[in-house]
Homo-oligomer: A and B are copies of this chain.
Amino acid sequence: MLRLGIIGTNWITAQFVAAARETGEYSLTAIYSRREETAQKFADETRANAELFTNLTAFFASPAFDVVYIASPNSLHAAQAVQALNAGKNVIVEKPMVTNIKQMAGIDAALKANPHLFIFEAARHIYEDNFQRVSKFTHTHPISGATLTYMKYSSKYDAFLSGKNPNVFTTTFDGGALEDLGVYLVYAAISWFGVPDKANYSPQILRTGVDGSGVMHFDYPDFSVNLITGKTTQSYLPSEIYTGRDTLTIDAPESIQRIDYTTSEDTVDLAGAQDQNPMIREAAYFAKAINTGDTTARDEKLLLARRVHTVMTQIRTDAGIVFSSDQD
């Protein structure tokens, strides 16, 4: 049983803890929060017999857990991942693992110093069966393009509009649509089509300097892919992958329930059943890799993460979006 420590106590952490427990491979044993009441509340709500921490150094120094799940604000992910590795912990870090590809050097160094440890970016969607069904499709059909969309009105946007600055809408916390939602699309595009030859991002910039929405354009030798993301509007658009005159329609790249393959003759549903909790597959995958010492799986996923964030950093900085952490 892996003993799990968590940083962050919001809904995504609750969802991950539920998924982790459902795999039968994890037990929640340590909770870090800046405020003890928050940690206690999370422990109560999840009925966890866990040690509570309000000091991050003490948390990482504790022998109470083996694996940390990091769901802090984006700007803290990379530094906390490095800190965790150097404290001898395995790491599951929420997307984005890094907000500037330069931060990967710190992770590489920490991993080199602790080569037996594991680090995974919690790109949950790529571990799901339907995502892999689409991968199988794209790797066995000639691709002629794609339009992928993940655009959702943020629960924090009303606060932003009223003049407040929620973390996810600030450059201080490395927020914005690309890092929060666009990352799902970049993972999908690179998994399904490979690394693009050229990529650009045309964002809508908000008053805080982050991107509220935008469209990415990825150029491949024989086709191109458009990726639409946003946190300021609500889209119901499905996504499409084109092959010749045929079209694969998926309901949502970040959580695929439907995969319809439409030819001139008919439409066939290629999807399988989807887990209730979309984080189960990743939690199971990470546990298996850690438990079996499968560093090949770790390195393969880390290479994918590196490719994703190389593109993300390039298109973001080309678009003139500057994060506080870019200066580090």
Which residues of A approach B to under 8 Å, CB–CB?
Answer: 144-145, 147, 149, 151, 153, 157, 200, 202-204, 213-215, 217, 219, 223-224, 226, 228, 230, 232-238, 240, 242, 244-247, 249, 262
Contacts and interface: CB of A to CB of B under 8 A. Distances in A.
B232 A226 contact: no
A204 B233 contact: no
A280 B244 CA distance: 33
Contact of A235 (B214, B215, B235, B240): B240
A262 B240 contact: no
Contacts of A236: 240, 247, 249, 262
Nearest to A233: B242
Contact of A224 (B149, B214, B219, B237): B214
Contact of A202 (B149, B202, B203): B202
A66 to B, nearest CB: 42
B240 A238 contact: no
A206 to B, nearest CB: 10
Contacts of A203: 224
Contact of A215 (B226, B232, B246): B226
A246 B234 CA distance: 7
Given A147-B149, A153-B245, A245-B153, A217 B237 contact: no
A237 B153 contact: no
24 contacts: A145-B230, A147-B235, A157-B245, A200-B202, A202-B202, A202-B217, A202-B219, A202-B224, A202-B226, A213-B224, A214-B217, A215-B215, A215-B217, A215-B226, A226-B226, A226-B228, A232-B242, A233-B247, A234-B242, A234-B245, A235-B242, A236-B247, A237-B237, A237-B238
Contacts of A145: 204, 213, 230, 232-233
Instruction: List the 3 shortest-distance A-B pairs measured between CB atoms, nearest first.
Output: A202-B217, A233-B242, A204-B224
Contact of A237 (B147, B213, B234, B244): B147
A144 B242 contact: no
A58 to B, nearest CB: 42
Contacts of A144: 232-233
Contacts of A204: 145, 219, 223-224
A202 B226 CA distance: 9
B147 A228 contact: yes
Contacts of A232: 144-145, 242
A195 to B, nearest CB: 17
